[in-house]
Structure 1
Amino acid sequence: MTVNADVIRNSDTAHPLPPVAITADALPDTGRERPLPPSQDPFFHPPRGFARQAPGTILRTRSVEIALFGVIPQRVTAWQLLYRSQDLHGVPEVAITTVLLPEGAEPDAERPLLAFQTAMDAVTDRCAPSYALRRGSLSPGSITQLEWLLVAGALRRGWAVSIADHEGPQGGFGVAREPGYRGLDGVRAALRFAPLALHAGTRVAVWGYSGGGMAASWLIEMAPEYAPELNIVGAALGAPVGDPRHVFLSLNGGAFAGFPAIVIAALQQVYPVLAEVMARDLTADGLRVLERARSLGPLAVLPMLMGRDMDDYLKRPLAEILPDLEPMFDEIRLGNRAPACPVLVVQPVHDQVIDVAGVDGQVARYRERGAAVWYLRDRLSEHFSLLPLATPLSLDWLADRLAGRTLTEPTTKTVWSVALPPTQWRGLVEMATTAMRVTFGLPLRPVTVRPSDEVSGLAA
């Protein structure tokens, strides 16, 4: 089978797309067999000569079935696109995105695209969205599966959605820049994929929370330099891990000590200085802890490693090791590049996972570099409750950007709760009906469109 212009449309005349050979792995997913994890799936194998293609070039496609927790089929149309991207050092690699439309969606040249970045927060490829969202997947401990409700909310608005495996083939949780490259090239691929009926000027929104907010931050930070041709009109970042060093130290030894372990397991694959430190200073017990962190999803790792302190697994104190790691932490810190699009940042004041000071710093760095940022801090929510409570607000704010509605001057607001204003109640009711529909596998009928002159007073 060969992909031709009926399937892949070349929207980049500077890089014409040749016919792409497709193997049997590109045949539709029938749902009869359990899908293979990416590391075992031949669909992910790089085609010969792929490195000569332009970033975002589609290499393979297949249709797939999406299911909540791998079990409840969802009424959406979905494909997976393998495309050319690059790693931290600019070396070509393949990446994958899952692209979706509401079931039965008619072609619409004005349809926007949401680049949704999931909170993968894992090294294991069983938490990659290309696997975790598929029917029949086994992804214990995955956060990605819980975030399907957010994606469904966007689909109910009639948007197309692209969900890239932004951590790449090695599970690079926390690595600098790479999530941006993969996410942006995933958008390029989606715009070229004819069944989505998008085009080069399609309006693009970006959204992510927690680990997904970190990936979304990298996407909009890298966009002006790496993909300036994309029409990114706005981004919503929830609790976006502005300073990973601060988060690493504050979580170590506490209830969420599993996150630092996962990050170490991921970063040592990419940063030689960390790999050398771990090889020299990690105890045998420490090696076993990292292996657990590498092989399990975050919701499985967290209870297992609750209260664990890295000092208990090192041959010398962590304080002596940190100076060697400062260049790495400097590189993975967010906010050193200014996004070109308007940005909404939503953050709990009393976040027990992502300390508000780190996000304050990210916002300040963006503004110092000229970015337009609307910063909303919530006093009553904590890390996990703000995700659902801020979902209607985030969707409405992005919808306003996609519609080209006027913004006020950038502000910082600290409120008791983003859910208190009556303007948010309808969105919360719609989210509840969306949750009911995905739970029972019902069609994602369109939501009530907010009047064009109704702008949220929280984040306008």
Structure 2
Amino acid sequence: MSVNAEITEGPLSGGVLPEPVGQSRPILPGDDPFYVPPAGFAAAAPGAVLRSREVELALLGVIPQKVSAWQLLYRSCDLHQAPEVAVTTVLLPFGADPDEERPLLAYQCAIDAIADKCFPSYALQRGAYSPGSLPPLEMLIIANALERGWAVTLADHEGMGGYFGAPREPGYRVLDGIRAALSFPPLGLDAATRVGVWGYSGGGMASSWVAEMAPEYAPEIDIVGAALGAPVGDPGETYIRLNGTLHAGLPALVVAGLRHLYPGLGRVIRDHADDEGIRRLDKIETMSTVEAVARFARDDFDDYTDIPLADILATPEVLEVFDDIRLGGRIPECPLLVVHPVHDQIIHIEDVDGQVERYVEGGAHVTYVRDRLSEHLSLMVISAPAMLEWLTDRFAGTPLPPSGTTTVWSIASSALSPLHGLLTVGRTAVRVLFARPLGPN
């Protein structure tokens, strides 16, 4: 019910929001009163549900999905732990009995954009129009968790600002979204629920922050494992490598967002970028991921600065940002499965090797699989069976596989992936395409 949804208010709401009438598609988050913080929200505990509504999901906004879904507005915090609100979309398998025990999967979509039309809470709704955004395509992966009977939470982990590439705060928002899901009565979960974490690419980066921040921010959550696919590792190095390439729009998206979070970076950009460079950063904030990559292919920020880009990258303000957004500075306590293509055309293998090395040196249990044959996009699908089986084992309490690094020709034929895994993922994709109920058969 994405259009005329019943809205349930929490104790701090201060009244019932008006329901949209006659809308043909859901309202964008920036215009939707559901996302407006209620008065006094900052006094609530992190993860407290402030507002909820039932919604209807659809693949690409068109093919309705048979799954129970709600949106939760809850109290969280930003990069500096100042109170803010965030939204997560929570799912139960079709026809699920909330009294049955089940695990919770925190799946982080690859939002990889600033525009709110790319947020999962909007892009996954029936009637949503978000061409070029990535979360709708990930419904084909998320459905596999529902087919196994799991509950799922899909946080808008970039926050209302859509700050792609920001450190720490994606972890805060996801962890508070987990707290909100565990306390939301229709899901039937509780504090003892086992929680798994999963994401790929930009979602893998956000999931890394979840795993890193959990020990200090939400130690009470029973996170039994985090599956990290192509998790970026070092966003600063990724920016340097991708600038001027076919994928130059991705680092431009990161810079466009982070300039609002880091005053020093914003000042450097204002001082040294010309008017056209600033206009391009402003424009990219309105674009979906695919649109930004297509529009800014081979764009070189060196063409829009009054001094060489190398000199800008060497300034203390930029180096501070690069150091802050690098993953691996905090050590997860949950076991990790990391997968990455050796020949990834977007995220260099060395950057993920470095992230894993920092985790291992800090004492984390990491099973790291490097895939020789896949590239960035294909590995997301090919690795899904291994991720699902590994998470299933963590929920079941199965003994962990050995910690260590393995380089394979394809993860699809590795010990982590069952032979029928890709067929099962394919069958689930067919169920999504044909609007079949999503839940255990």
2:349: which partner in 1?
A: 356
Deviation, 1:119, is 0.3
Deviation, 1:153, is 0.6
1:446: which partner in 2?
A: 440
Secondary structure at the counterpart of residue 105 of structure 1: coil
1:292 maps to which of 280, 283, 303: 283
1:424 maps to which of 408, 413, 418: 418
Q: Does the aligned pair in 2 maintain the 1:30–1:65 contact within 8 Å?
A: no
| 1:294-309 matched pairs, under 5 angstroms | 294-309=285-300
Matched, 1:434 2:425: no
Matched, 1:46 2:37: yes
Q: Does the aligned pair in 2 maintain the 1:252–1:260 contact within 8 Å?
A: yes
CA-based RMSD of the aligned residues comes to 1.7
1:14: which partner in 2?
A: none
2:324: which partner in 1?
A: 331
Deviation, 1:445, is 4.2
- Measure the CA separation in 2 of the matches of 1:30 and 1:80: 18
- Measure the CA separation in 1 of the matches of 2:22 and 2:336: 39
* Residues 319, 19 of structure 1: alpha-carbon distance in 2 compared, 3 angstrom cutoff: closer
- Measure the CA separation in 2 of the matches of 1:238 and 1:439: 24
Q: Does the aligned pair in 2 maintain the 1:2–1:19 contact within 8 Å?
A: no
Deviation, 1:233, is 0.2
**One-letter amino acid matched to 1:163:** L
Deviation, 1:269, is 1.1
1:207 maps to which of 168, 183, 198: 198
Matched, 1:346 2:332: no
Q: Which runs of 5+ in 2 are unaligned?
A: 1-5
Deviation, 1:32, is 5.6
2:24 maps to which of 17, 20, 33: 33
Matched, 1:374 2:367: yes
2:243: which partner in 1?
A: 252
**One-letter amino acid matched to 2:424:** E
Aligned residues: 433
**TM-score in terms of structure 2 length:** 0.95
Secondary structure at the counterpart of residue 407 of structure 1: coil
Matched, 1:395 2:388: yes
2:184 maps to which of 173, 193, 202: 193
Q: Which runs of 5+ in 1 are unaligned?
A: 9-17, 448-460
**One-letter amino acid matched to 1:393:** A
1:107 maps to which of 98, 107, 131: 98
- Measure the CA separation in 2 of the matches of 1:392 and 1:157: 12
**One-letter amino acid matched to 2:436:** L
Q: Does the aligned pair in 2 maintain the 1:31–1:65 contact within 8 Å?
A: no
Where has structure 1 moved over 6 Å in runs of 4 or more? Answer: none
- Measure the CA separation in 1 of the matches of 2:385 and 2:283: 36
- Measure the CA separation in 2 of the matches of 1:219 and 1:31: 38
- Measure the CA separation in 2 of the matches of 1:208 and 1:115: 9
Secondary structure at the counterpart of residue 180 of structure 2: helix
- Measure the CA separation in 1 of the matches of 2:265 and 2:326: 16
- Measure the CA separation in 1 of the matches of 2:259 and 2:112: 15
Deviation, 1:33, is 2.9
1:182 maps to which of 134, 155, 173: 173
- Measure the CA separation in 2 of the matches of 1:424 and 1:285: 51
- Measure the CA separation in 2 of the matches of 1:50 and 1:100: 24
